[in-house]
Amino acid sequence: MEFSIDTTYKTRTILDGFLADLSLEQLNTVPPNFRNNIFWNIKHVVVTQQLLVYNLSGLPMALSEQEVTNYRKGSQVTANVGQAEVDLLRKQLFSLLDKTRADYNKGLFSRYKAYTVSTGTTLTDVDEAIEFNNFHEGLHLGYVMAIKRALGY
């Protein structure tokens, strides 16, 4: 599982680069023909990882209910974010992954509620959830790159 978690770190390092390099205006802009902005896509991957790995394992998520509501599948941008939200997200990208690695190594993920994702694949344990999460984060990295290009950045 270490390989899969390391892959997530690498994807998140790329995503963190967008948060570090783009202005608040650039992070908050929703281009024509897109539903969400760069910030939403990056926060969404953090929320989804917590839902897939922790929530479906019956463990508490390390996010507020408001964060989950605002960035879960099917949600859309409702307001611009400020620098405090960007700073928090930059920390969450890695601290929550560190927690996942530690909790995994402690054997905390002993049960899992099977869940069928939008691709039609059914996740049956935490290992599958972590592997699928990498696919999901890769998709949203692609969206972030497309939004950046659509906005001419």
- Tally of domains within the chain: 1
With beta carbons less than 8 A apart as the criterion, state whether 90 and 27 touch. Answer: no
Check whether 126 has a pLDDT greater than 90: yes
9, 27, 111 from 135: Cα distances, Å: 13, 23, 22
What are the tens digits of pLDDT across the range 49-95? 999 999 999 999 999 999 999 999 999 999 999 999 999 999 999 99
**pLDDT (tens digit per residue) in 92-123:** 999 999 999 999 999 999 999 999 999 999 99
Cα–Cα distance measured from residue 19 to residue 39, given in angstroms and rounded to the nearest whole number? 8
Q: Which CATH number goes with the domain that contains 127?
A: 1.20.120.450
User: Looking at residue 55, what is its pLDDT?
Assistant: 98
Residue 134 is part of which domain span? Answer: 2-150
What pLDDT shows up at residue 40?
Answer: 98
Give the mean pLDDT of 113-137.
Answer: 97
48: left (phi over 0), alpha (psi -120 to 50) or beta: alpha
Vertex 6: Cα angle to 138 and 97 (nearest 5) = 85
